[in-house]
A and B are shown apart, each in its own frame.
Chain A
Amino acid sequence: MTTAVADAHEHHGPEKGIKRWLFTTNHKDIGTMYLIFSLIMFFAGGAMALVIRSELMTPGLQFVHPEFFNQMTTMHALIMVFGAVMPAFVGLANWMIPMMIGAPDMALPRMNNWSFWILPVAFGILLSTLLMPGGAPASGWTMYPPIVLQTGVAFPFLIFSILLMGLSSIMGAINIIVTILNMRAPDMWLLKMPMFVWTWLITAYLLIAVMPVFAGAVTMLLTDQFFGTSFFLAAGGGDPVMFQHIFWFFGHPEVYIMILPAFGVVSEIIPTFSRKPLFGHDSMVYAASSIAFLSFIVWAHHMFTVGMPLSGQMFFMFATMLIAVPTGVKVFNWIATMWRGAMTFETPMLFSLGFVFLFTIGGFSGVMLAIAPADIQYHDSYFVVAHFHYVLVPGSIFALMAGAYYWLPKWTGHMYNETAGKLHFWMSTIFVNLTFFPMHFLGLAGMPRRIPDYSTQFADFNWMASVGAIGFGLSQLIFVYVLLTSKKGEKATDRVWEAPRGLEWTVPSPAPYHTFDTPPVKRVSEEAFE
């Protein structure tokens, strides 16, 4: 074992070839794999969205069968949620958290590798269902029984791929929590941590709390299907609605899992380009914690139309509205950070500003949906589709883009192509609104979601939305161009930007394979946290 002892101290770079990626325990390698994987999934899920939008471009059935249409909505959502957004944030966490807190690596490096390498298996299995007899699952990503039990051969593959995604998320979250709690530089006490680290700490807690519940829910689906249990069967004393309760007990915290790290990214970027410290750092922490707490007691706002005692409706309505308070605190803090700042508008800042504006629109429509009597009209309509895409696309995805542009020079050591970046932002912003804004009107006028054909009165807005979706999809190719040329730009300095804060800017660009083998000394870290 003397070799291992030597290994622990001696410095060496990455292994050569494929082994580097298969066996790696390095947080930067693993972060890179997560990010690339999620980008691939983003395009796969995006292609499915385009199938949907092509079919909906004009009334009538033109390209796909209704069954296949339903498979597309289901797979699109599962891939975007579990394959694109979540792994992308885990990728950012892997890359940035150790550097931000002055740690040599993640706390449990081997498990880190496994968390990633489960994902290709899970999504390989999920995607393979497209080729099976009966096709992919078509129940919608919410997988409500009894309809999900009509899935054909794909059914057990669906359940087990979800269990694998859950396993990966739980292990990733445990690693992140332990890293944050145990690996900080000696003088970085909790309330000094950067916002991105804070929001990830809370997110990881949410993940560990709710992914197992989701695993339990799909396990009950599996046993109802194959082993004759009656969890969701009224004749046996169970209840299909019970699935909805368990699912949304997971599902609502899940949406915060996709947005809290986005809050964190934006909270890093806005101060840098406003050249002011984050306004109300501690109140941001308390706001994020309140959001996390409230996220556990609002789930039935997804179920206002399903039948629930009146007292339940009232409770879930008011609890949901309460979330607007801490969310508002965050939005106002971002604005206060910019107030009288010396602002510049590089691509990361543009995406962050787009985030603040457009996410807030999604937040407003969320408050509308929280009003139980009104939701009885909005429920399962395109209004809902508009709402959650505003928080997910110009919300989570924009924050991911912002983060990618912000830290790309730290990763590659070169500045990216700013013109292309700005073009990417403006095209995305125009098209994202063209896609999703008309959906509000469609929904209010009564167009249901998850439907391959519609009445001709909805034709115009649907056509706009489809044009927008194609435009949005093409705009993302600019991002690929930026990535492919990301090593061609001028050399980046260590600080990269004019006034960034945080330890990651004290190490060279590109960041060396191993950072902080010894925790940064007080002097350095103080300067960095100010």
Chain B
Amino acid sequence: MSHAPDSYYVPHGSHWPIVGSIGLLFLMLGVSTWLNGADAGFWVMMAGVGIMVIMLAGWFGTVINESVHGLYNAQVDKSFRMGMFWFIFSEVMFFAAFFGALFYARNMSVPWLGGDSNNFFTNLLLWEGYESTWPTNGPGEVGGDYEVMGPFGLPLINTAILLTSSVTVTIAHHALISGKRAILGTFLALTAILGFIFVYMQAVEYIEAYEHMNLKLTSGIYGSTFFMLTGFHGMHVTIGAIMLTIIWLRVVKGHFTPDKHFAFEAVAWYWHFVDVVWVGLYVFVYWM
């Protein structure tokens, strides 16, 4: 792999990072004071969100502009790719923490509360009569009676939607490589739409859980793991679908060539990652 050695693009100064830091400052101060019960914190938080959105738009705008003007050689492209790979790896580890909590609760803490291993007296003296099962809201029945979210119905449909969207994004990628722009645009749009449908369906599922099943974030360890895992995943799907939309807009504007389309691939990788996490969720949260 050869590259013109003198042309690794090093930008000279940028004000976006510091804008981002200011945004984060507002965001964190706002959300913290809000959680502490001060209503004004909410508006500080929203100001932070606003600054972050401006920052992201500006920063990515600059990068897209530089890319379109051919400032990035193959080596820069490779830096971006590697950066995206390691970013996704960090996301994998973030989800690993929550999956770890789920496995720990299911295989350790809940059985122990039921007297498993050498915890006979824990059960007898603290939680007499508690039998460990999964799902559970614990020996204290935190949050009261609830219904379990089964694997069929909405979650199964959502699985089908996400798996299909992984296929459509791959078709779009192949179309991009072989220069078939119409297919590219269609299937990319389709992918984004599937993503938004998924988010919508999940919202329906959450409303159902809260209003009819009394299944809430507060429903003991089952509710906690269920909503944290699916919630963070849903957040990632939302972000991914927004990114797909932006990429689609760029496709419409004529960006990307068969051999240079890092942004497209980055978002496609991200989308596959979100998809794989969902499969894990479906198996361990809904099904088993």
Contacts and interface: CB of A to CB of B under 8 A. Distances in A.
Interface residues of A, number: 80
A121 B25 contact: yes
B29 A109 contact: no
Interface string B142-168: 110000000000000000000000000
Name B's interface SS.
helix
Contacts of A181: 82
A274 interface: no
Interface of B: 5-18, 20-21, 24-25, 28-29, 31-32, 35-36, 59, 65-66, 69, 71, 75, 78-80, 82-83, 86-87, 89-91, 93-98, 100-101, 104-105, 108-110, 112-113, 117-118, 126, 136-140, 142-143, 216-218, 220-225, 227-228
B129 to A, nearest CB: 14
B117 A309 contact: yes
Contacts of A103: 8
Contact of B224 (A156, A209, A230): A230
A160 B93 contact: no
Nearest to B75: A182
A372 to B, nearest CB: 16
26 contacts: A1-B69, A4-B11, A8-B7, A8-B71, A24-B13, A103-B8, A107-B83, A113-B14, A114-B16, A118-B24, A125-B29, A164-B28, A174-B86, A208-B93, A211-B90, A212-B90, A212-B97, A213-B94, A216-B101, A217-B97, A229-B227, A234-B140, A236-B221, A237-B105, A246-B100, A309-B118
Interface string A99-142: 00001110111110110011011001100000000000000000
A7 B86 CA distance: 29
A120 B24 CA distance: 11
A118 B21 contact: yes
A108 B17 contact: no
Nearest to A178: B82
Contacts, number: 243
B97 A239 contact: no
Interface string A7-32: 11100100100010011110000000
Interface of A: 1, 4-5, 7-9, 12, 15, 19, 22-25, 103-105, 107-111, 113-114, 117-118, 120-121, 124-125, 153, 156-157, 160-161, 163-164, 170, 173-175, 177-178, 181-183, 186, 208-213, 215-217, 220, 223, 226-231, 233-239, 241-242, 245-246, 249, 309, 514, 517-519
B138 A230 contact: yes
B256 to A, nearest CB: 18
Contacts of A25: 10-14
Given A164-B28, A209-B93, A230-B224, A236 B142 contact: yes
A349 B222 CA distance: 57
A236 B117 contact: no
Contact of B221 (A109, A160, A237): A237
B281 to A, nearest CB: 15
A110 B218 contact: no
A166 B249 CA distance: 33
B144 to A, nearest CB: 12
Given A212-B91, A245-B104, A309-B117, A4 B69 contact: yes
Contacts of A519: 5
Contacts of A517: 6
A229 B28 contact: no
Contacts of A19: 13
B71 A216 contact: no
B71 A170 contact: no
Given A125-B29, A208-B93, A156 B87 contact: no
A510 to B, nearest CB: 19
A108 B83 contact: yes
A111 B80 CA distance: 11
A124 B7 CA distance: 38
B12 to A, nearest CB: 5
Contact of A212 (B10, B20, B93, B105): B93
Given A5-B71, A238-B221, A242-B104, A121 B97 contact: no
Nearest to B136: A237
Given A114-B21, A230-B138, A238-B224, A7 B14 contact: no
A1 B94 contact: no
Nearest to A211: B90
Contacts of A104: 8, 10
Contacts of A111: 17, 83
Contacts of A236: 137-138, 140, 142-143, 220-221, 224
A111 B97 CA distance: 25
Contact of A110 (B17, B87, B97, B227): B17
A242 B82 contact: no
Nearest to A116: B17
B12 A7 contact: yes
Contact of B28 (A107, A125, A153, A175): A125
Given A114-B20, A237-B221, A178 B86 contact: yes
B79 A182 contact: yes
Nearest to B216: A228
Given A114-B21, A125-B28, A229 B86 contact: no
B122 to A, nearest CB: 9
Nearest to B65: A1
Contacts of A153: 36
Contacts of B222: 237
Nearest to B11: A25
A156 B142 contact: no
A178 B85 CA distance: 10
Given A156-B31, A213-B100, A230-B138, 13 more contacts: A8-B71, A23-B17, A24-B13, A111-B17, A113-B17, A125-B29, A215-B94, A223-B228, A229-B223, A230-B142, A231-B221, A234-B139, A518-B6
Nearest to A310: B118
Contact of A246 (B24, B36, B97): B97
A161 B31 CA distance: 12
A110 B58 CA distance: 13
Contacts of A249: 100
